[in-house]
């Protein structure tokens, strides 16, 4: 089985929230590791915000089902971003049988977008005759 989620957001909206609420906004949405990586840069904050929304959609919970900081987007130098789940988000993914979430992030001058695919232990989600 395969689950998908996608989201996009205006970078200016995130920039405005950060300028208005500062550290309070960061602490509500982002983990310390995410804050350190983004260093207040609006495009990076926005892409991670979109990623969290996309994962919430993938999990079928929306913002009321899991907390923002229970979904963490990390990126090691020279590596693609990865999603780490914590607490209720991790429990929900386990209940769904999701063993891995692949994520892609991008942004333009105005918009940030995130797309994610959750894979269950069964593999690709394709019928057996279609798997290679």
Q: Is residue 119 part of a domain?
A: yes
Which phi and psi (to 5°) does residue 122 adopt? -70, -10
**Can you say how many angstroms the Cα of residue 96 is from the centroid of all Cα atoms in its chain?**
17
Per-residue model confidence (pLDDT) at position 74: 96
What's the DSSP call for residue 94?
Answer: H
CATH number of the domain where residue 69 is located: 3.90.470.20
Is the pTM above the cut of 0.85? yes
pLDDT at site 123: 56
The pLDDT value given to residue 127: 43
Q: Which residues pair with 6 in a beta bridge?
A: 115
| CA nearest neighbour of 60 among 29, 97, 28, 30 | 97
Does residue 132 form part of some domain?
Answer: no
User: What's the domain range around 67?
Assistant: 2-126
Total number of domains in the chain: 1
Closest CA to 120 of 100, 91, 102: 100
The answer to the question of residue 35 being in a domain is yes
- For the chain, list residues with pLDDT below 70: 123-132
Whether 131 maps to a domain, the answer reads no
């Amino acid at each position: 089985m395969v689950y998908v989620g996608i989201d996009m957001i205006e970078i200016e909206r995130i920039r405005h929230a950060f300028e208005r609420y500062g550290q309070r906004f960061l602490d509500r949405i982002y983990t310390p590791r995410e804050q350190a990586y983004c260093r207040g840069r609006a495009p990076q904050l926005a892409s991670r915000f979109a990623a969290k929304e996309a994962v919430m959609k993938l999990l079928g919970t929306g913002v009321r089902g899991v907390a923002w900081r229970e979904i963490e987007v990390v990126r090691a130098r020279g590596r693609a971003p990865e999603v780490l789940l914590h607490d209720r988000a991790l429990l929900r993914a386990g209940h769904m049988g999701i063993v891995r979430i692949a994520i892609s992030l991008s942004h333009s001058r105005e918009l940030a977008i995130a797309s994610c695919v959750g894979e269950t232990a069964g593999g690709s989600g394709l019928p057996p005759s279609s798997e290679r």
